[in-house]
Every structure is written in structure tokens, then in C-alpha cells.
Chain A
């Protein structure tokens, strides 16, 4: 066999892992790999983002819409440090991602060489695993491990740093063996059959059971098992923001969102249920509010793949370890068929109150400035729950997630745990590339849009047909809301004087339009959806609207406010 370089070995590893898309940005220390990408461009397609942060978010969007591992690549030093926000985001939201960074030659390590930075040290707390390759002979084993670790068990980001000399080094022979097992790593913990039995007893005797499900259902590809489970047991089920879309919006047992801006019913009734089933979720503080008064009356059953999450925030009466795809299937045979009609009706009663006090006023608004909810309504009317929603961070995120209709899973992509402004625009074209047949709609605030605005360049260059809606309230709206409610309206540095977004889009040769009037909204949304190619729609929103319901931070879920 002829010798190949370490850089070529990197590409061959990617091909072995069936990676056909990379998001990245070149530079000195990664040039040998880029040179090989040039040669292999018919097999591995590289998408040049306009900033390395964009590459990570695009890889995340790609991973979430396709279910595959997203791959991002960058040079050493500033290229590598620009990846950090996306890596931290992927870590806290369990997104499978492999990041590849170039590094100075191994003989220069530690010398403060040009563009040397200790990316292994920097990324350690925010990666599931990382490794620095200094010899070409390590490449195939490390890549195999990296992909296995990123996607197995609870997924997460992995970073591989490769010194430049390892990329140039000639390899005598290249062999690739997929990694199936690492002796020190238990990807999926064993399920104790006793825990299933105990859980089934609690469930079968429950009068007012409530399910809160999270992204674990989606990451475990357990949507069918989950549906079978709720339908057999008749238990109402609420979602965390990352669990959204696993169950169709219209399903009668889907009772809405929990948490800080979740729905009224599931928040209040969390403190009235007798058994709380937490399925693939981790009791984030944005979900639980004050832990001292969170579901204290309920028996807690926690379905978890990550043992470190059990008893971390909420003590479980029964912990069911394992992949929910298996555990829900096994539990299904032990639970009795049931209907909790009266209890489920309670959610409807609460919904009706919320509808009157909040939803109707904003979703069906008729006078005054446009509301964010109206825009989502129009999107719903024009897409029928079939599109992928990508949101940034802020008020528009909460509104879009609350109101968007979904018919199928893996359709909601947002930055949940880290709350990374700037996530949506790159994540949106990543999602589009990950699932090109589906409509991708990015809903973004005027603040967050300007954090990764340069990715319009990537969208233009790749012609990724994403539909971008900027909900422009000329404010960092979510922060302004807090200032209004908790800081006596002292709007410190939250008002934004914005550029002409339509002109900017035009500058990138992206079709664009601005809407200010209610009469034009629906027509313009329809035009945007029907347009064949990327499109940016700026919608001018009432400046000082607030998102409700809201649980003020530190309060109990029972104290969710409607106004």
C-alpha cells in the first residue's frame, strides 16, 4: 500500500464514519487537511462559514435535524477558541458533535508559537472527551473513538486537536476499525428490573400522574415507544423546551410546556400530581423553579441514561437507568391501560384560563402593534406543522416554541441549556443541509441576529433555502422584560438602534421584505414560504410586549404569573 499523510488519514476516517458534510474555516495549522479536502471534495463537502462559532452551530443544527454527528473544523489559536461557545452549547444540550482543530507542530507545543493556544485545556470542561494527536499513527483510533463517544449514550461534543506535523507525517499503513466499546466508558447503564416493577406499581396506583419529557425521548429515537406508553396509560404529558416536537402538538395528551415560560396548567399541576414521571429530562432550574417547592407531594420516577443526573436536583423515588427506547418498551408490558379523564380535563380548564388571559390576546390580536404570537400563527397557517423551527434566544424563542404546531419529531432546534444568542442563523442552514427536503424556518430576535449576521454570507454561497424571520422589537426584549418587571423599568443598554435588515439581506443577494402592518403579515409569510430559495422577512413587533406565563426566577412553579 502506498503511504498516505496524516491529513489524508483524517479525511479517510471521516469517509469511514460516513461524514459527507463539514462546517469550518481554514487557517495555517489545519491547511494540510484542507488540502486533502480539496482532493476529496466529491466525497466530503466542506461548507465555509463566516465565523467558527457559525461552524459549530451549523454542525449542531445539522446533527439535530439529521440525527447524525455534526462535524466542525477550524485552525489553531483564534479558530479553535471561536469554537468554544458552540462546544459548550452542544455539551449542555447533549448534541453529538466532533470538532477538529489544527495545532502548532509538536516541537513547538508550549513555546507560545504563532497561533498556539491550549485548546485541550480550554475545552476540557465543556467536552465529553478531547484528545491531542501528535502522531499520524494515532489518527484512525482516535477518530473512531471520537465518533463513538460523541453519539453513544448521552451524546455530546468531542474535540480532536491535531498538530501540524502529525498532519504532514507519512503513514505506512492506514487501517480503520469502528469503535464499539471503550473499557472505561459505560455508555448506557444497566436497567434494574426491580426499578421497572416499582415504577409500574406507582403508575398503576396513581390517580393524578403527570409526565414531563425532555430531549432524551428524541435522542433515544424513542418517540413511538413514548407515544405507546402515554396512550396506554392515559397520562397527560408536558414537555421541556428540548423535548418539543417529540409528540404532535394536537395529541390530546400533550398538555404543553413546563418551566419559566411554560403553560399554566402543567406548571401549576406539577405541584398537584401524585406521581411525576420525568422521562429523558434533567430537572433544569428553568424547568423546576424553586426546588424547595417543586413537586414535593409527588412520587418521582426518573428515566435517565446519565447516572450523574439522578438525584442531582430532584431526589427520585425510583430511578430507571437506561435508554428510554428500551425502558419504556419494557415498562409498557407492566403498566395497566388507563384513562385519567377528570385529571386530563383539569389541564384543559387551566388552558382555558391561559387562553383567555394570555393566548387569545396575543395569538388573535387585532389592534395595536403586531405581536410575536401572531407571526407564529401565520407561520402555522402557512406550513401546517410540517416545518423545522429553529429559534434563537429571548422572547421570540419562548413565543415561537409555545405556539408553533408540530406534526413530527426532530423539528425543534433551539439553544436550551446555554441560551446562546446567535445560535439560530447558523443552526438553521445546518438543519436545512441535514434534512434538505424539509422547510426550515428560523425565528430570530433583532439582537441575536446581529451576533452571527455574517452567516448570511454562507447562506448566500450555499443557497440553503432557509426562511428567516426577524422579530424586531428594537430591544433586547427578554432582558428588557426583566428590567421592567424586576428593575423598575430601568432599561439599561437594552434598546437597539438597528440597521436596515432588508438592505443587509439585499447586500448578500438574499430576497427580503419588511412587514409593519397586520393586513400584510399573512400575505408576506405566504410569499416567503412559497419562495424557492433563502428569504429574510423582517417583522416589526410591538416594542414592549412581555412573555407570559412567567415563573419569576426563584419562585415556585405554583406561582406562575399570567400577567
Chain B
């Protein structure tokens, strides 16, 4: 089966150790996590993890079932890129000298619709939010001028279809 990029969305309780428990599921199966983010979701005190992995269809189904099985996981879903709206943010720290000296760099920033976040006497910081290809493109362009630092966030995404997580919470009246 072909390996493709899947985005896993996990709704969880807010507990110490849960990240460890979830990542252990990938470790046990020798699967590399490509990116991971976590933040409070649209429901107070319920957290949402977004994990990107490159696996085949059979693997993603089994992974998500194992994740969903964990006691403090409320629900887990997987989506292909077509089924989600997703973004990443990248930060680029460049020497200030380059900005003033090279007109070229200002054009690059403008063309790629990046923002200058901070300008300091010796460096400035550029931010770009978008798809991987876009942040990568900007990275390659700025690299020539000497990047002091570069960092990219994990993917954040929302699914196109609803995930009906609140319904899930209400329906659980076991025993």
C-alpha cells in the first residue's frame, strides 16, 4: 500500500503524561512523527493534538484506533490533505545588514507575502504562514543571504467536515 501524508486530530482530556502515552503508540510501531502540535480546542479544557505522519491506509486506521482506545482520548480522526485546511508557520532570523544592503531581499519578502515581525539593529525576524512548499520556498530564497535561525511549526489544521466532538461527549453514558 502507498504511504501518504495523513493528519491525525486527537481530542483529549488535559492531563500530564498524555503526550507520552500517545507518542508511545508511534514508538511501539517504529513510526516517525513528522510534526506534532497541541493546544486547547474549541471546547474549554479539552485539548487537541495534530500529528502528521507518512503511512499507508491500513497503518493509519490501526494507529487511530489504538489512540482512540486510550482512556483519556475522547476521539481521534485522520484526514488526507484534501480533507483539511492546514497551515504551518515559519520564522526566519536574518542579519539586519542584509535587509538594508540588499534591495533584493525586500522584494522577496513582499512577493512571498511574508511579514517582518521585528527589526533590531543587528537582526530582523520574518514570519511566513502557509503550506510547506511556501515556507520552504522562502527558506531557500533567504538562505542565500545568510539565515541566523530558521524554525517551522508543526502543522495546524481544521477538517472540512465536522468532527462532532460535543455530540461524542454527550453520548457517553456508559453504565
Contacts and interface: CB of A to CB of B under 8 A. Distances in A.
A306 B174 contact: no
Contacts of A120: 17, 20
A371 B54 CA distance: 53
A188 interface: yes
B175 A184 contact: no
A418 B99 CA distance: 62
A125 to B, nearest CB: 5
A132 interface: yes
Interface in A266-313: 306-308, 311-312
A128 B66 CA distance: 11
A186 B65 contact: no
Contacts of A152: 174-175
Nearest to B17: A120
B71 A149 contact: yes
B74 A308 contact: no
B71 A183 contact: no
A319 to B, nearest CB: 12
Contacts, number: 59
A184 B62 contact: no
Given A130-B17, A307-B65, A312-B62, A186 B28 contact: no
Contacts of A125: 24, 27-28
B72 to A, nearest CB: 5
Contacts of B13: 184
A308 B68 contact: yes
Given A124-B17, A130-B17, A182-B71, A187 B175 contact: yes
Contact of B174 (A128, A181, A312): A181
A342 interface: no
Given A130-B17, A184-B74, A307 B169 contact: no
A185 interface: yes
Contacts of A40: none
B12 interface: yes
Interface string B86-110: 0000000000000000000000000
B174 A124 contact: no
Given A124-B17, A130-B17, A149-B71, A181 B172 contact: yes
Interface string A119-132: 01100110011111
A125 B73 CA distance: 15
Contact of A129 (B27, B61, B65, B71): B71
B21 interface: yes
Given A183-B169, A186-B172, A306 B69 contact: yes
B175 A128 contact: no
Contact of B73 (A124, A149, A184, A312): A184
Contacts of B17: 120-121, 124, 130-132
Contacts of B12: 184
A60 B50 CA distance: 37
Interface string A165-183: 0000000000000001111
B69 A307 contact: yes
- Which of B28, B69, B169: most chain A Cβ within 10 A? B69
Contacts of B69: 306-308
Interface in B46-83: 61-62, 65-66, 68-69, 71-74
B165 to A, nearest CB: 11
Contacts of A306: 69
Contacts of B20: 120-121, 124
A325 B61 CA distance: 27
Contacts of B65: 307-308, 312
Contacts of B72: 129, 184-185
A128 B71 contact: yes
Contacts of A130: 17
Interface of A: 120-121, 124-125, 128-132, 149, 152, 180-188, 306-308, 311-312
15 contacts: A120-B20, A124-B21, A129-B71, A132-B16, A149-B71, A182-B71, A183-B74, A184-B13, A184-B72, A184-B172, A187-B174, A187-B175, A308-B62, A312-B62, A312-B65
Interface of B: 12-13, 16-17, 20-21, 24, 27-28, 61-62, 65-66, 68-69, 71-74, 169, 172-175
Given A184-B13, A188-B174, 8 more contacts: A132-B17, A181-B172, A181-B173, A184-B73, A307-B69, A308-B62, A308-B68, A312-B65
